[in-house]
Amino acid sequence: ELRILEQSHHLIKNECNNLINNDFQIIDIQNLAGKYTQGGIHTIKWKSYLLKAGEFVEENCQLCPETTKLLAQIPGVHLAFFSILYPKQYIKPHFGYYKGFLRYHLGVIVPAENHHLKLCWLRVNDDGETNASRDKKAIEQGEKYYWQEGEGVIFDDTLLHDAMNDSDQIRVVLWLDIERPMKRPLNWIHHGLIKLGMKHPVLKKVRENAIIR
CA-wise closest residue to 174 among 36, 62, 8: 8
Per-residue pLDDT averaged across 164-173, rounded? 97
- Residue 81, H or E segment: strand 77-85
Distance CA(149)–CA(76), nearest Å, equals 24
- Is the N-terminal amide bond of 201 cis, ω within 30° of 0? no
Distance CA(139)–CA(186), nearest Å, equals 31
Per-residue pLDDT averaged across 176-192, rounded? 86
- Residue 188 is predicted with a pLDDT of 83
Residue type (1 letter), 169:
Q
The pLDDT tens digits for 138-166 are 999 999 999 999 999 999 999 999 999 99
- Residue 139 is predicted with a pLDDT of 98
CA-wise closest residue to 160 among 190, 185, 130, 189: 130
Distance CA(162)–CA(157), nearest Å, equals 10
Distance CA(49)–CA(55), nearest Å, equals 14
The pLDDT tens digits for 16-74 are 999 999 867 899 999 888 877 888 899 999 999 999 999 999 999 999 999 999 999 99
pLDDT-based confidence at residue 106 (cuts at 50, 70, 90): very high
- Residue 195 is predicted with a pLDDT of 79
CA-wise closest residue to 180 among 193, 171, 168: 193
Query: Is residue 82's pLDDT more than 80?
Result: yes
Query: Is residue 189's pLDDT more than 90?
Result: no
Per-residue pLDDT averaged across 94-104, rounded? 92
The mean pLDDT value of the chain amounts to 93
- Residue 91 is predicted with a pLDDT of 97
pLDDT-based confidence at residue 190 (cuts at 50, 70, 90): confident
- Residue 181 is predicted with a pLDDT of 87
Query: Is residue 99's pLDDT more than 90?
Result: no
Torsion over CA: 69, 6, 142, 112 (sign): negative
- Residue 174 is predicted with a pLDDT of 98
The better pLDDT of the pair 38, 132 is held by 132
